[in-house]
């Protein structure tokens, strides 16, 4: 995503989200964001889009193995989870004491 300006997303590392589209879609199961890639517009979500990686045997590791690892999904496929309303929610930004804060549109609660 090579644009002139860096896009602004309402999702940060450590947020609780639900997957709203794709194979792992589940609107009732909140999950944690492990990593956000702003340049590509993708996120790494705990336990979502598991990819298998085969590891060859080497001198140090005489047995090979199969590793399950999370893959990136599009940031548009996740939505922030509102713990108070127990539902996915949209976000609005408000300025408070010179800082931008994220506020849930469903419950009006500040998201840390």
Q: What is the CATH number of the domain that holds 20?
A: 2.30.30
At residue 11, φ and ψ (nearest 5 deg) are: -115, 135
pLDDT tens-digit readout, 26-66: 999 999 999 999 999 999 999 999 999 999 999 999 999 99
Whole-model pTM: value is 0.81
Q: Is residue 11 part of a domain?
A: no
Q: Is residue 108 part of a domain?
A: no
Question: Do residues 84 and 107 make contact, with C-beta atoms less than 8 angstroms apart?
Answer: yes
Q: Is residue 8 part of a domain?
A: no
Give the total number of structural domains in the chain: 1
Q: Which residue range(s) make up the domain with 27?
A: 16-56+63-84
């Amino acid at each position: 995503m090579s644009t002139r300006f860096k896009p602004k997303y309402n999702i940060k590392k450590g947020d609780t989200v639900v997957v709203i589209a794709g194979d792992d879609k589940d609107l009732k199961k909140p999950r944690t964001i492990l990593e956000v890639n702003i340049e590509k517009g993708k996120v790494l979500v705990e336990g979502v889009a598991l990819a298998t990686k085969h590891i060859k045997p080497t001198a140090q590791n005489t047995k090979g193995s199969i590793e399950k690892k999370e893959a990136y999904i599009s940031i548009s496929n996740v939505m922030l989870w509102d713990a108070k309303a127990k539902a996915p929610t949209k976000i609005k930004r408000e300025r408070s004491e010179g800082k931008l804060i994220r506020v849930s549109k469903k419950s009006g609660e500040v998201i840390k």
